[in-house]
């Protein structure tokens, strides 16, 4: 049996379609495809445009896309340090349990340290027991006292007239 070669690298503009397709697979997995309204063009502009809002890592096995991590910087006022917020981590089903998710998290943790970050954070859906167990195994502390607040759609548009 030939061993597979795992590569984790920063995404480049030519990867936009691949990342978009991985995001579609993530949306399907989370049963949230109906909430996905963006396009490859949106993703391209926001990752690689004049003012990038996020960054992405691509995990490849034998040069085939196997997963991705999309992240951005945030800031902790208490630590007075930047942090990295992991928006999404996803590995395609055929590539799970091969250490790819672990490798992506380790890569991001090291990146956070290199960039002088004081935190590396993300959210996990409460029904995703395998992910919760994996994150705990990686040293993550699940913070049940914190709840996500989100303003979007019409509620966000209402801010314009306030």
Spatial CA neighbour of 69 closest among 53, 51, 84, 56: 56
Q: Which two tokens stand for residue 15?
A: 């990867």
- Catalytic, 135? Answer yes
- Of the candidates 29, 75, 95, 135, the residue annotated as catalytic is 135
Q: How does DSSP assign 28-51, residue by residue?
A: HHTT-GGG----HHHHHHHHHSSS
Pairing state between β 55-61 and 119-122? unpaired
The catalytic residues are: 135
């Amino acid at each position: 049996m030939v061993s597979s070669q795992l590569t984790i690298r920063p995404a480049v503009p030519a990867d936009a379609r691949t990342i978009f397709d991985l995001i579609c697979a993530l949306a399907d997995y989370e049963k949230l495809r109906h909430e996905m309204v963006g396009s490859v063009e949106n993703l391209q502009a926001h990752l690689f445009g004049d003012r990038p809002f996020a960054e992405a890592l691509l995990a490849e096995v034998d040069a085939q896309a196997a997963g991705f991590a999309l992240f951005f910087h945030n800031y902790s006022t208490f630590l007075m340090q930047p942090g990295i917020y992991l928006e999404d981590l996803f590995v395609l089903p055929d590539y799970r349990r091969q250490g790819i998710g672990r490798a992506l998290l380790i890569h991001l943790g090291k990146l956070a340290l290199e960039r002088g970050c004081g935190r590396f954070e993300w959210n996990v859906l409460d029904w995703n027991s395998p992910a919760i167990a994996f994150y705990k195994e990686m040293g993550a502390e699940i913070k049940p006292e914190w709840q996500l607040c989100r303003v979007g759609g019409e509620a966000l548009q209402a801010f314009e007239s306030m």
